[in-house]
Amino acid sequence: MTWLGRRTGKAYRLPSEAEWEYAARAGTSTSYSFGSDETQLCDYGRFADLASHWHDGCRSATTTHGPIQVGTLKPNGWGLFDMHGNVWEWAVDCWAPDAREIPTDGSPFTRPGYCDVGVIRGGGWPTGYARLRSAQRMPWPVTSHYYALGLRAALSLERP
């Protein structure tokens, strides 16, 4: 994200888990930012649906493998695209098996020393609809690669 900061003159970073979920929910408390009806997912998220070989969820017209261009589907209530599906997104936190350990003030969960397992959120294009919920979180080794893994840049705001 350094290149983005140099280009814009602003500081960008990975969001914390709490920030990511806040953005994904867009003011809701339902399974998805648009409610709890997973049949609407084809309107909002790229995931493994009936048109693919994974065979779950709703049927979309998208049959190609891989992520789609951001902004192709509907945004959530706050105008954010692809919070459900497309690619799993890194959070800056270290993995906490018990979600109650995650700070409630929006700061990331860290471990003293080395953080060898991080957190990914949102689900990816080869993921079934059950893993696209706003609250879904997964542990992931920080040194590994995965074809359905990406990131979302968060703009750091100056606090008064």
Query: pTM of this prediction?
Result: 0.89
**For residues 69 and 9, is the Cβ–Cβ distance under 8 A?**
no
Query: Which pLDDT score is estimated for 159?
Result: 57
pLDDT at 82 over 90: yes
> What is the greatest pairwise CA distance in the chain?
51
Distance CA 91, CA 18 (A): 9
Domain range enclosing 99: 1-160
Number of domains in the chain: 1
Question: Mean per-residue pLDDT for 106-113?
Answer: 91
Distance CA 80, CA 62 (A): 20
pLDDT at 62 over 80: no
User: Burial, 85: exposed, middle or buried (Cβ in 10 Å; 0-12, 13-18, 19+)?
Assistant: buried
pLDDT at 61 over 90: no
CATH classification of the domain holding 24: 3.90.1580.10
pLDDT at 113 over 90: no
